[in-house]
Amino acid sequence: MFSFTKEQKTLEISGVKIGGQPGMYPTVLFGGLFFKGEPDFENAKKHIQNMLSLSKKTGNPGIPDFFIRREEHLESIIDFIEENLPTGYPFSIDIIEPSLKIIALETLHKRKLLHRTIYNSIHIGVTDEEREALQKHTPEMAILVAFNPKDKSSDGKIEVLSNGANLLDKGLIDISKEVGVKKTLVDTAALAPGENSGASIAAIPVVKEEYGLPTGCAIHNVVEKSTWLNEFKTARKTVDVSSNINIPLYGGDFAIYGPIENTDLVFPVIAWQDILVSEYTENYFGVSPVDYHPRRKFF
């Protein structure tokens, strides 16, 4: 368990705080929707209501992460966000296609939703057109993915953040500043087994000590790509959910835990881990948890 000498930034979006020294704030949990097929809005509504209920119960903020694959889904997903999330509540948009990212930014600007938007994400594939769109229609917060295909170690992740690793004209942190994003989270880029996947966890304290930025990852992706777990079908879900405890254990601030269907399992598991971290960091480092922390909720 960690305490960092670098001053740790605490960022806020629509009342949700993320960052700080370990044990201070509860881990923020991102649950994904619409990964496959056509968006199932009725099912999504039930899962979001469940996420908000568990968030209130445990103290761990829950943020829906909307995966948008096609332009024809964009308007209906944004309609759903406006109609089903509490007024002012934050959300994340997860888009791969650069041209669709630009259209989404324009649409969120027109709908006056950028102040609630976490942009997922800025990475080495960022195009000049995307940078221009971000500067014109700037989201409140963005996730920087520290993926470096040339060096998948913790040092390689720092390199892509700081100078672009000769893959970009500048580092991701400077790019985010250039386009006007004032609040940035760092995703340490969880890779497949055999691709130095453990560095995604080991890099969390490295990034936090280097930059003081809220840091986490989607460690769920490593489990998803661990095909050998198919031989252990009963244990696979347990491994998937429990993998997320590594993030707060290593000082991280947020977990992108995969499908929102896992909410019932993830929230109590992370609340339990947050309690353990808080007990230690308060007793050893004097870091007091906020009043809505799981340790305050249950003790």
211-236 pLDDT, tens digit per residue, is 999 999 999 999 999 999 999 999 99
CB 170 within 8 A of CB 163: yes
pLDDT on residue 31: 98
**Nearest C-alpha neighbor of 29 from the set 268, 289, 284:** 268
The pLDDT of residue 32 is: 98
**pLDDT given for residue 226 in this prediction:** 96
The pLDDT of residue 172 is: 98
Please tell me the distance from the alpha carbon of residue 4 to that of residue 268, in angstroms, as a whole number: 26
Cα torsion 253, 259, 261, 262: sign = negative
The confidence score (pLDDT) of residue 2 equals 82
Query: Is there a cis peptide before residue 121, judged by omega within 30 degrees of 0?
Result: yes
Q: What is the pLDDT of residues 18-42, one digit of tens each?
A: 999 999 999 999 999 999 889 999 9
Residue stretches of the chain with pLDDT short of 70: none
The pLDDT, as a whole number, for residue 206 is: 98
Protein fold of 10-298: TIM Barrel (3.20.20)
Domain boundaries, the chain: 10-298
CB burial string 233-249: b at 16+ within 10 A, e below: eeeeeeebbbbbbbbbb
- The DSSP letter of residue 287 is -
> What pTM did the predictor assign?
0.97
Torsion of CA 14, 16, 19, 21, to 10 degrees: 140
Name residues whose C-beta falls within 8 Å of residue 191's C-beta, 6 or more positions apart in sequence.
Answer: 147, 152, 197, 199, 200, 221, 222
Q: Are 185 and 216 in contact (CB under 8 A)?
A: yes
